[in-house]
Structure 1
Amino acid sequence: MDSNFLITTFQQILNVLPTTLALFALSVPIGAVFAVFILWMRMSANPILSGFAKTYIFFFRGTPLLIQMFLIFYGLAQFQFFHLPMFWVILANRFWTTVMCLAFCTAAYSAEIFRGGLLAVPSKEIEAGRAIGMSGFKLLRRIVAPSALRQALPAYSTEVVLMLKSTSLAGLLGVVEMTGIAQKIGRQTLHEVLTLCLAGIVYLVVGFLIILLLGWFERLLSPHLRVMPPSAQTPRTIVG
């Protein structure tokens, strides 16, 4: 295999890496914000809000992301209502439509992950906060939210990495990203397996860096769970 071909192909894949990272970096936080609202509705005592959240989660967790992307990009455009400027500014742009499709999908999964973390908060911690006179907002900020986030972060980390891999579907909506350019080069040169392997290497490296970052953040949130060295665990004996 010609080394020049490998270098050129790898460079072409890296040239569209910013597009993949942009899709990932935008869809994850937007999806997290949506997930918080879906979680609020899911936990609401209002049956309408709760029913909407359950339906939303059921649909986006129960159907393939590819079908969701086609339904949103091609389906919504058939309704005149979505030609209003507030909707069409997104639907007319393939990049932003892809971002919103990814965000809608991850919001459903993230809402259930956050709900699991919220339900795992020990009731004794909440009772202790109320006992010392904490307000509802302060209780949420100081006790409930940090504890729920610690509980949910391991599962949410998996969802974040899955979102990186889900950006590979963006090419089906016409957004040029790493998988799409690798397939294009592979078809033109008849080395599709090799070009996809090169793209896979980039995904592995980026995914590994994301895992390291999330692992560091998880340790930052859980300092009390860090394993102390034996010298620190065993008290010193003072000989007097």
Structure 2
Amino acid sequence: MSHALDLIPARPAPPLVTPAMTPARALGYGVLGLWLLLAIGLAYMMVTGWDTDKFVKYGPRYLEGLATTLALVASSIALGAVLSVPIAYARMSKNIVLNTIAYAYVYVFRGTPMLAQIYLIYYGLGSFRAEIEAVGLWWFFREAWYCAILAMTMNTAAYQAEILRGAIQSVPRGQTEGAKSLGLPPSVTFWKIILPQALIVALRPYGNEIILMIKGSAVVAVVTVLDLMGQTRYAFSRTFDYQTYLWAAIFYLAIVELLRNTWAALEARLTRHLKR
């Protein structure tokens, strides 16, 4: 029997198939090559044109701007998260008035650039100084810092409300029905059952929103807030050296990369029970 099996020819190994070079793949490789050449060129210019005196002189200002940027983003994200809860609730409400107001709010702040919103709050409301002083709020609207936080908070609240609404609606209706069968009140059902599950779904979109806010916060420099980009503009106005903006890009890239890895670790930890 063994001799008969020896006479059966072995099946030839399948030939190696290399992926075809499609136009899209070739374009992707070309773009990647251009980015690589640009990175090498920038690294070469930084090494050959490095000015230690400028870095020592303006480095502390960059650190101050970085602290301002982080404070702005952290404050606006936290305040926006609080504001997004009632907005998301109104968006899901069957009350036509609440739903319409919330829809209009989300539509306006998601459909217009943050730069225009900051201009309207800082310069637009500033033109009504007499009326604002009459209600005792001029101390708030005369400060660019407060106006920047207000604009960023209202902007991110619109995005966070939609993230939260989508996450809540993704929770199966059986969770609510099960809570009703146990006699749990709606408030306990929402805060203890629905919301925790919704936040797990919303983790990744929330991380993307924070990253977008970090990059979008650069626009507050136009209303004289000396954040990271504001300090960069100051350094460039004194030196006219392109490297000042390159330093800012490195700072922003480092912040985003650190946040991305931190958020990925947090997401992996909070969703580890779903992977078993």
TM-score (norm 2): 0.76
Q: CA deviation at 1:171?
A: 1.1
Q: CA deviation at 1:116?
A: 0.6
Question: Alignment length, in residue pairs?
Answer: 226
Equivalent in 25, 43, 66 of residue 92 of structure 2: 43
2:16 aligns to what? none
Q: Residue 79 of structure 2 contacts residue 153 of structure 2 at CA under 8 Å; is this kept in 1?
A: yes
1:19, 1:131 → 2: CA distance?
Answer: 50
1:170 aligns to what? 220
Matches within 5 A, 1:47-62: 47-62=96-111
What do the CA deviations read for 1:60-104 (whole angstroms, capped 9, x no partner)? 111111111111111122334433455323211110110010001
- Does the residue aligned with 2:137 lie in a helix, a strand or coil? helix
Q: Residue 73 of structure 2 contacts residue 213 of structure 2 at CA under 8 Å; is this kept in 1?
A: yes
Q: Does 1:9 align with 2:58?
A: yes
Q: Does 1:118 align with 2:168?
A: yes
2:240 aligns to what? 190
2:136, 2:268 → 1: CA distance?
Answer: 41
1:236 aligns to what? none
C-alpha RMSD of the superposition:
1.8
Q: Which runs of 5+ in 2 are unaligned?
A: 1-48
Q: Does 1:92 align with 2:142?
A: yes
Q: Residue 150 of structure 1 contacts residue 221 of structure 1 at CA under 8 Å; is this kept in 2?
A: yes
1:64 aligns to what? 113
2:80 aligns to what? 31
1:21 aligns to what? 70
- Does the residue aligned with 1:45 lie in a helix, a strand or coil? coil
Q: CA deviation at 1:148?
A: 0.8
Q: Which amino acid aligns with 1:200?
A: A
Structure 1 residues 78-87 or 193-202, which shifts more?
78-87
- Does the residue aligned with 1:16 lie in a helix, a strand or coil? helix
Q: Residue 64 of structure 2 contacts residue 227 of structure 2 at CA under 8 Å; is this kept in 1?
A: no
- Amino-acid identity (%): 32
Q: Which amino acid aligns with 1:55?
A: A
Q: Which runs of 5+ in 1 are unaligned?
A: 229-240
1:84, 1:39 → 2: CA distance?
Answer: 33
2:191 aligns to what? 141
Q: Residue 10 of structure 1 contacts residue 198 of structure 1 at CA under 8 Å; is this kept in 2?
A: no
1:82 aligns to what? 132
Q: Does 1:222 align with 2:271?
A: yes
Equivalent in 127, 147, 157 of residue 207 of structure 2: 157
Q: Does 1:205 align with 2:254?
A: yes
TM-score (norm 1): 0.87
Larger radius of gyration: 2
